[in-house]
Structure 1
Amino acid sequence: MEFQSTRVASLRNHVQHQVATGQFKGVAWCLEHRGKVVEQGMAGYQDAQSEQPLNKDTLYRLYSMTKPIVSVYCLQLIEQGLLQLDDTISRWLPAFAGQRVLGADGSLQACQRAITIEDLLTHRAGLSYDFLPGCPVADQYRAAALAADGSRSLQDLSAALASMPLAHQPGTRWYYSYATDVLASILEKVSGKPLSACLQDALFEPLGMSETGFQLSEENHHRLAQMFGQRELGEAPAAAADENKVPSNQLRAMNVDASYPSTDPDFARGGIGLYSTVDDYRQFMSVLMHGKASSGELILSRPMLDCLWQNRLTQQQMPITIGTKAYPGYGWGLVGRVMADTSASMRLTGIGEGGWAGAACTYFWVDRANEFSGIVMAQYLGSEVTLGPDIQALAYGTLA
C-alpha cells in the first residue's frame, strides 16, 4: 500500500474539531509508513490555564501503554531462558498458590489450575480491575484503594491481589486486569532489580528513550501535559452510556498525583506509571515493528517477534471486551491487542494490526504487514470520545 498525503486533511480536521468543540484540550499524533514519518501534528494546549501549546517535548502519562513495555521486557527474559510461558507464578509468588475464585453466588471455589506467565501476559489469569462494573472482585479492589493509592509498592500491590479472590478461573476468559502488575513483581524477583532499573537497562537505554520513566525530575514538571477527565482511576462508570447520545466530554481539570505520582522515587507499576513523549514511545514501537532499535541493535529475535503477534485467544474468548465495551475482531497476543478478524471490525484496520491504549486517551498501533504505525497522545480520563481508534481509522483511509 502507498501513503496518500492528499488524504490527511480528514485526520487533521477531525483532531482540530475535537479540540475546538472542547472534547480535549490537547492532542498530538504521528504516523509512520515504511520507516518514515509521513504525518504528524499537534492541536491545543499542554497547559490550558497559561495557554502553553503542546510541543514536541511535552510529556504524557502513559497509563496502560506502560503494559506493552513491561510485557516486552518479560519476553526478553524468556529469550534468556530465565522464564517460560508455562511457568506457574506461585514459583515466585507463593501466596498465589492458595487463591480461590469468587462464584456468582458468593461462594469461593478452588482454582482448577495454576496461573501461568502466559495467563498474565494475555489477561487470562482471572484477576480484575477496580473500574469494571458488575464485578464483585472489583468492589473489593475499590474498597482496598488498589488503583487510588499510588504510594503502595509493586510488591505490596501484588500481595494485596493475592489475598483477594479471583474473578474467573485461570485461562477461561480474557478479562482486563492487574495481571501486568503481578507480572512486573515477578520480573523484579527474576532479575533481582527494581522494575525501573530493569526497563532502563534492557529497553530505554538501547532504544534511546531518555524521556521515559516512572518519575519526573523537578526541571521537567513544566513539560507535563495537564490532565482532564470525568472520573478517577479505578472509579467505575456511573451508568451505562446512552447509545443514542452523541459521545461528549466535559473538560474538568484533575489532579491525579495520588494515583499516578511523579516524584515518588519508589513508584513503579506494571500496568501504569510511565511518563513519555511521542518521539520516545515511537522508539519502542519500532521494536514491535522490527524487533530492533533504530541503531540496529536487536531487542527481540524474529521468532519472538512473530510469536508475540499471534492471537492466543480462543474463538469463545473473542472479541476482547472491557466492561460493556467490545472491540470487534480483536484477539490478544503476548503484548497487546491483535486484529484477527477484519470481517468483524467496526473501523478501518488491517489483519495483524495491534497495539494498545491508556486510560487517559493515549493510543498506538503497529501494522507489520503494511509497515504502518501511529501514535496518539491526549490526557483525559474516562473519555466518551474514542479518540485513538477514530484517528487510526482516518489514518488507514490515507493508504491506497
Structure 2
Amino acid sequence: MVESGRVAGAEVLVWKDGREVHYGSAGLADLEAKRPFARDTLVQVFSMTKPVTGVALMQLWEQGRFGLDDPLDRYLPRFAQVRVYDEAAPNKLRPPSRAITIRDVLRQTAGFTYGGANHPTDAIWNALQPLSPDHTLAQFAELMPKVPLLYDPGTHWHYSAGVDVQARLVEVLSGQPFDQYVVEHIFRPLGMTQSCWKCSPDLLPRLAAIYSVGKGGFERMPRETWLEPNFADKPMTMGGSGIVTTIDEYMRFARMLLNQGELDDTRILQPATVRLLSTDQLDPRIEDKDRLWLPSKGSGGFGFDVFVRTRPPQTAQENRGAVGEFFWDGYPSMLFWVDPLNDMAVVFATQKIPFDGTLHHDIRDAVYGAGYRGW
C-alpha cells in the first residue's frame, strides 16, 4: 500500500487464538517530519468511536437503567416533539408512526440524519448545527429533535447522529459527563491509558497526520480541518467520533469483545450482552434499497453500532470475512473487526481521506486469503 502510493503510512495488528500473531507497519505517520508509523503512533479513529459508545450504553442497560424498547423521550423528553418530513403532510411535517425506541437509536433506525443527506431537512440541520464543537451534548439533545426525521422509526437504516444521542443517554442515565464515564468504566479498566477525546497537548507529537491522495501526491490536511475537538478547548464530546488512540489500545477493546466482554479478568459486559449487540437487529422487511450504503459493507445487517455478517462472501469482489463477524470503520480509512469463528480480532490503522474501502478489501484478502469462503 505504501510502495504503490495509496497511503502515506499504515499498520495492522492481528490477534488470533489467544495471542498476537502479526504486527506490521510501513511508511510515515508524518511525511513532513519523516516520522514513521509505529506502535506508539496515535491515530484519530473517527467513527470507530461508535462501538465504544454502544458498549457504554449497554453497560447501563445491564444495570437495569432502561429497556431497549423504551421510548427515547422517556429519558430525553425533548424528543417527544420530533416530526417526520413528509411532502404530503400539512407544512410537510407530521408525527412519526410510532415513538423512537432506544433500540432504534442503537441500530440506526430512528430516522435521524447527519445532515448532508441530499434531503430537504439538510437546510434545518445546517441552520441549527446540532453537533457544533461549541455545543455540549445537552445542547445537542435540545437541538436534535428540531431536525425532522427522514423516515418513520424502524422503516429505514440511515447513518446518523443517533450515536451522539446514545452519548447523551449515557450522561443522563449515569449522571456523569460522557467522556468521564467512558474513561472510568471502559478505558481505565481495559488499560487504555492513552485513549482520549480531550487529549493532553503533550501527546500531539505522536499524532499521525491525515492525508488525501491526488494526482499531485499526498496532501496534508490542515490541522484546523482534520483535527476533531481533540486537544481543543471545546465543549462537545461526540459519541459518534473523536477518540484518539493507538493500535494496541484499540486492540484491547476489540479483544474484550472477542472474549465475550472480558479482558485480563476485568469484565466490561456480560457474554449475553456482547452476543446481543453483535446480532443483526434489522427487520428483514427493511430492503437493501432502504439501507443506504450498508449493503456495500458485505452480506449482513447491523447490530448495535456494528455491522454484522450473516452470510459468507457472495462474490470475489466482496470483502473477505466470516459469518458471525462484526466490525466498524472510520472516515480516515480506519478498520477493526472481531471474528469469533476464527477466534481473531484485527485492527488496521491508517489516516487517509476520503474513506478508501479498497484498502479494507486488500487487508482482508491478506489476512484470510482471496479464496476464503467465510465459514
TM surpasses 0.5: yes
Among residues 189, 197, 200, which one is paired with 1:214 in the alignment?
A: 197
* TM-score, normalised relative to structure 2: 0.90
The alpha-carbon distance between structure 1 residues 178 and 273, as it changes in their structure 2 partners (threshold 3 A), is: same
Is there any run of 5+ residues in structure 1 with no aligned partner, and where? Answer: 1-17, 231-246
- Counterpart CA distance in 2 for 1:195 and 1:57 is 26
For the Cα contact (< 8 Å) 1:249–1:385, is it kept in 2?
A: no
The alpha-carbon distance between structure 1 residues 53 and 343, as it changes in their structure 2 partners (threshold 3 A), is: closer
Deviation at 1:51, TM superposition (A): 0.9
For the Cα contact (< 8 Å) 2:13–2:346, is it kept in 1?
A: yes
Aligned ranges for residues 146-157 of structure 1 at < 5 Å? 146=130, 149-157=132-140
Aligned ranges for residues 259-338 of structure 1 at < 5 Å? 260-265=228-233, 266-317=235-286, 319=288, 321-323=291-293, 326-338=296-308
SS at match of 1:126: coil
The alpha-carbon distance between structure 1 residues 256 and 344, as it changes in their structure 2 partners (threshold 3 A), is: farther
For the Cα contact (< 8 Å) 2:164–2:238, is it kept in 1?
A: yes
Q: Which amino acid aligns with 1:268?
A: T
Q: Does 1:113 align with 2:98?
A: yes
Among residues 98, 102, 110, which one is paired with 1:125 in the alignment?
A: 110
Q: Does 1:388 align with 2:360?
A: yes
Among residues 319, 326, 331, which one is paired with 1:359 in the alignment?
A: 331
Match for residue 21 of structure 1? 4
For the Cα contact (< 8 Å) 1:283–1:293, is it kept in 2?
A: no
* TM-score, normalised relative to structure 1: 0.85
Among residues 215, 218, 231, which one is paired with 1:251 in the alignment?
A: 218
Moved over 6 A (4+): none
For the Cα contact (< 8 Å) 1:76–1:300, is it kept in 2?
A: yes
Q: Which amino acid aligns with 1:59?
A: L
More deviation, 134-143/196-205: 134-143
SS at match of 1:300: coil
Match for residue 122 of structure 2? 138
For the Cα contact (< 8 Å) 1:30–1:376, is it kept in 2?
A: yes
Among residues 183, 186, 189, which one is paired with 2:166 in the alignment?
A: 183
For the Cα contact (< 8 Å) 2:7–2:350, is it kept in 1?
A: yes
Q: Does 1:201 align with 2:187?
A: no
The alpha-carbon distance between structure 1 residues 185 and 250, as it changes in their structure 2 partners (threshold 3 A), is: farther
1:68-112 CA deviation, whole Å, 9 max, x = no partner? 001011111111111210111111221110111112568212111
Q: Which amino acid aligns with 1:28?
A: E
- Counterpart CA distance in 1 for 2:311 and 2:46 is 27
1:233-264 CA deviation, whole Å, 9 max, x = no partner? xxxxxxxxxxxxxx999632113546712223
The alpha-carbon distance between structure 1 residues 75 and 324, as it changes in their structure 2 partners (threshold 3 A), is: closer
Deviation at 1:393, TM superposition (A): 3.1
Is there any run of 5+ residues in structure 2 with no aligned partner, and where? Answer: none
**RMSD of aligned alpha carbons:** 2.4
For the Cα contact (< 8 Å) 2:247–2:349, is it kept in 1?
A: yes
Q: Which amino acid aligns with 1:171?
A: G
Aligned ranges for residues 210-249 of structure 1 at < 5 Å? 210-229=193-212
Q: Identity percentage over the alignment? A: 29
For the Cα contact (< 8 Å) 2:255–2:345, is it kept in 1?
A: no
More deviation, 352-361/339-348: 339-348
Among residues 74, 85, 91, which one is paired with 2:68 in the alignment?
A: 85
Match for residue 235 of structure 1? none
The alpha-carbon distance between structure 1 residues 384 and 356, as it changes in their structure 2 partners (threshold 3 A), is: closer
For the Cα contact (< 8 Å) 2:106–2:304, is it kept in 1?
A: yes
The alpha-carbon distance between structure 1 residues 249 and 269, as it changes in their structure 2 partners (threshold 3 A), is: farther
Match for residue 12 of structure 1? none
For the Cα contact (< 8 Å) 2:156–2:291, is it kept in 1?
A: no
1:258-301 CA deviation, whole Å, 9 max, x = no partner? 67122235341100011110000011012211134432122111
Match for residue 239 of structure 1? none
The alpha-carbon distance between structure 1 residues 255 and 261, as it changes in their structure 2 partners (threshold 3 A), is: farther
- Counterpart CA distance in 2 for 1:77 and 1:124 is 21
Aligned ranges for residues 152-163 of structure 1 at < 5 Å? 152-163=135-146
SS at match of 2:341: coil
Deviation at 1:178, TM superposition (A): 0.5
Deviation at 1:317, TM superposition (A): 2.5
The alpha-carbon distance between structure 1 residues 250 and 104, as it changes in their structure 2 partners (threshold 3 A), is: farther
Match for residue 18 of structure 2? 35
Q: Which amino acid aligns with 1:288?
A: L
For the Cα contact (< 8 Å) 2:87–2:93, is it kept in 1?
A: no
